[in-house]
Amino acid sequence: MTPNLIINLDIEPITLMKNPFNPKSQNYRILERLREGPATNAELVKYALNYTARISEIRAKISEQGLGVLEKPLGGGRSEYRIDHLHCAKQAALF
């Protein structure tokens, strides 16, 4: 038996979201990188040594657009970060 899936086609694609940060800022560069797809902490540290603080600031700002940044632990101190819609992020936190 397969579960019923509900697909909401009214969701704006993540690639079309506005980047609310100054183009010269670390937040802007990290957000642009995450818009391309998932990135590991090893990659994000190239944009900012304190990338976790930048991720927190990005989360706070893009939540206004209904988006969030998800962290997936990979083991060995590594994590993968990606942008997703908030309702998906809340569902992922339940698992």
Give the CA distances from residue 69 to residues 1, 2, 46, 52, in Å, rounded to whole numbers and listed in that order: 32, 29, 18, 11
pTM listed for this prediction: 0.76
Other C-beta atoms closer than 10 Å to the C-beta of 48 total: 16
pLDDT in tens, 24-64: 999 999 999 999 999 999 999 999 999 999 999 999 999 98
From the list 88, 87, 21, the residue with the least C-alpha distance to 55 is 21
**Residue, of 26 and 12, whose pLDDT is higher:** 26
- pLDDT (mean) for 69-87: 93
Judge whether residue 69 has pLDDT over 60.
yes
- CA gap 34, 77 in Å, rounded: 19
- Map out the domains of the chain with their CATH numbers: 21-93 (3.90.1150.220)
**Residue, of 51 and 14, whose pLDDT is higher:** 51
- CA gap 89, 72 in Å, rounded: 11
